[in-house]
């Protein structure tokens, strides 16, 4: 595939994400599959799409001085300028002349002479004069908004919650590529066995900090490795693995995963129990339940039983006090996974957070009835908003004095988390810059013994 065609495919994706609200990760995967892209073309496409979306507002700041009537531009023209600006300023291996020539060729194919001239003029001015300095933006929040391309309401909200330093670290880290980590299927292999094999196959790997089952893939395409296809490994973020570690399961237990898809945590729990006992994994959507089934089959885990259900209605299926352990990995705003899904930061609103926090509270209220008297319940989300995390737990405990945050939870957390600012009496908030993981919240509740 030519470079121009890769850039045209990238332009189609970013325009669709920007104008129609498509999901960048799904559209990239769809394009790679449909066009049968090589590894080289896949890397270029992914870099351009993610980089352009991640830095959309910064790129807009840089090209705006050279545009007269930005509001009258067709969306694809504006995204072509964003995309080309990103390559000029952030991709060292792509020559400037190639970026300009290919942008002009795309403009010729899709537009008219006036558009071609304008695209050429804007990019040549940017190349000649360089990007405008951000130093003239005196307000530190407004400067952070432009510098890291996050919505102002979101930055202000995070600053109010965590302060400017944490927010700056979080926003900066959100611009970087996610670290690739995998979980070893310990019903088949040990971590040392897998690491030795991968190193023999020229992978650069290292053990993760938060889970003894985790491996960071520093270099190498793990998706193409036979161990991945044979169910020896599962791609999973390290922060997500910590949930499986902290649910404290033992062999033979009866466990509920109330919002399970795509099944990463349910299968981790089953592996921790060495495929004994029962893991009941539910999800609201039938298609997503199939993903859990497929993952369990690939990993050879037969103790997982799946079903379609709203987590708020599980008391229609199971009696009170049924489960030894319950995982509520609640639906959330996803603001902790912006690195891997950059469109999230532009799509979510404060109203979404309000709505989700009510659903999270309802789910917690419902599934907590299913916990047995000596049981433990882990609540987790992949977001960094206190309203969806600490405030949900605080509200629940205020109405349920028979529950408490399990004191042993804090003792059992990895030593490396002890000094983190996200550690509160309600649980642990991991930020993206803490361990180079997703932003993640988790805590563990139990019924009081007194």
The tokens for 375 are: 């049981």
Does the annotation place 85 within a ligand binding site? Answer: no
Does the annotation place 401 within a ligand binding site? Answer: no
Q: Which one of 171, 303, 332, 382 is the catalytic residue?
A: 382
Between CA 140 and CA 225 the distance in angstroms is: 46
The tokens for 329 are: 């990995």
Is 332 tagged catalytic? no
Q: Which residues contact 208 (CB under 8 A, 6 or more apart)?
A: 181, 214, 215, 216, 238, 241
Does the annotation place 303 within a ligand binding site? Answer: no
Does the annotation place 411 within a ligand binding site? Answer: no
Please give the C-alpha separations between residue 72 and each of 117, 166, 370, in angstroms, as whole numbers: 16, 38, 57
Does the annotation place 259 within a ligand binding site? Answer: yes
Does the annotation place 261 within a ligand binding site? Answer: yes
Does the annotation place 140 within a ligand binding site? Answer: no
Does the annotation place 12 within a ligand binding site? Answer: no
Q: What angle do CA 363, 349, 173 make, to 5 degrees?
A: 95
| 3-state SS, one letter per residue, for the chain | CCHHHHHHHHHHHHHHHHHHCCCHHHHHHHHHHHHCCCHHHHHHHHHHHHHHHHCHHHHHHHHHHHCCCHHHCCHHHHHHHHHHHHHHHHCCCCCHHHHHHHHHHHHHHHCCHHHHHHHHHHHHHHHHHCCCCCCCCCCHHHHHHHHHCCCHHHHHHHHHHHCHHHHHHHHHHCCCCCCCEEEECCCCCCHHHHHHHHHHCCCEEEECCCCCCEEEEEECCHHHCHHHHCCCEEECCHHHHHHHHHCCCCCCCEEEECCCCCCHHHHHHHHHCCCCCEEEEEECCHHHHHHHHHHHHHHCCCCEEEEECCHHHHHHCCCCCCEEEEEEECCCCCCCCCCCCCCHHHHCCHHHHHHHHHHHHHHHHHHHCCEEEEEEEEEEECCCCCCCCHHHHHHHHHHCCCEEECHHHHHHCCHHHCCCCCEECCEEEECCCCCCCCCEEEEEEEECCC
Between CA 426 and CA 403 the distance in angstroms is: 12
Q: Tell me the binding residues.
A: 259-265, 283, 310, 329
Q: Tell me the binding residues for S-adenosyl-L-methionine.
A: 259-265, 283, 310, 329
Enumerate the active-site residues. Answer: 382
């Amino acid at each position: 595939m030519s470079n121009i065609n890769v850039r045209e495919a990238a332009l189609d994706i970013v325009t669709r994400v920007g104008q129609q609200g498509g999901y960048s990760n799904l559209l990239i995967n769809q394009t790679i599959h449909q066009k049968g892209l090589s590894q080289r073309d896949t890397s270029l496409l992914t870099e351009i799409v993610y980089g352009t979306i991640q830095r959309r507002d910064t790129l807009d700041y840089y090209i705006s001085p050279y545009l007269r009537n930005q509001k009258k531009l067709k969306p694809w023209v504006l995204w072509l300028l964003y995309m080309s600006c990103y390559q000029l300023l952030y991709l060292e291996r792509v020559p400037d002349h190639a970026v300009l020539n290919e942008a002009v060729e795309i403009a010729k194919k899709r537009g008219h002479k006036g558009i071609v001239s304008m695209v050429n003029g804007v990019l040549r001015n940017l190349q000649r004069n360089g990007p405008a300095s951000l130093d003239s933006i005196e307000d530190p929040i407004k400067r952070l908004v432009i510098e890291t391309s996050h919505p102002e309401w979101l930055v202000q909200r995070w600053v109010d919650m965590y302060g400017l330093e944490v927010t700056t670290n979080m926003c900066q880290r959100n611009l970087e590529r996610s670290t690739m980590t995998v979980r070893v299927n310990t019903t088949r292999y040990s971590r040392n066995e897998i690491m030795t094999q991968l190193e023999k196959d020229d992978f650069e790997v290292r053990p993760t900090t938060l889970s003894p089952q985790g491996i960071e893939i520093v270099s190498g395409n793990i998706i193409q490795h036979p161990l991945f296809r044979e169910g020896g490994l599962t791609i999973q973020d390290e922060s997500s693995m910590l949930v499986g570690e902290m649910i404290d399961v033992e062999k033979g237990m009866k466990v509920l995963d109330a919002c399970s898809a795509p099944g990463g945590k349910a299968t981790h729990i089953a592996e921790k129990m060495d495929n004994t006992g029962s893991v009941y994994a539910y999800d609201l959507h039938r298609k997503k339940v199939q993903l859990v089934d497929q993952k369990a089959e690939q990993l050879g885990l037969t103790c997982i039983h799946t079903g379609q259900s709203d987590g708020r209605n599980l008391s229609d299926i199971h009696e009170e006090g049924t489960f030894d352990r319950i995982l509520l990995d609640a639906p959330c705003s996803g603001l902790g996974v912006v690195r891997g899904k950059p469109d999230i930061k532009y799509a979510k609103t404060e109203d979404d957070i309000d709505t989700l926090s009510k659903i999270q509270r309802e789910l917690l209220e419902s599934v907590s009835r299913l916990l047995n008297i000596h049981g433990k319940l882990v609540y987790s989300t992949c977001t960094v908003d206190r309203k969806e995390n600490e405030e949900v737990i605080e509200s629940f405990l205020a109405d349920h004095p028979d529950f408490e945050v399990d004191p042993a939870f804090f003792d059992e957390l990895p030593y490396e988390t002890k000094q983190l600012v996200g550690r509160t009496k309600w649980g642990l908030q991991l930020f993206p810059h803490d361990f180079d993981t997703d932003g993640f919240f988790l805590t563990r509740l139990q019924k009081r013994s007194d």
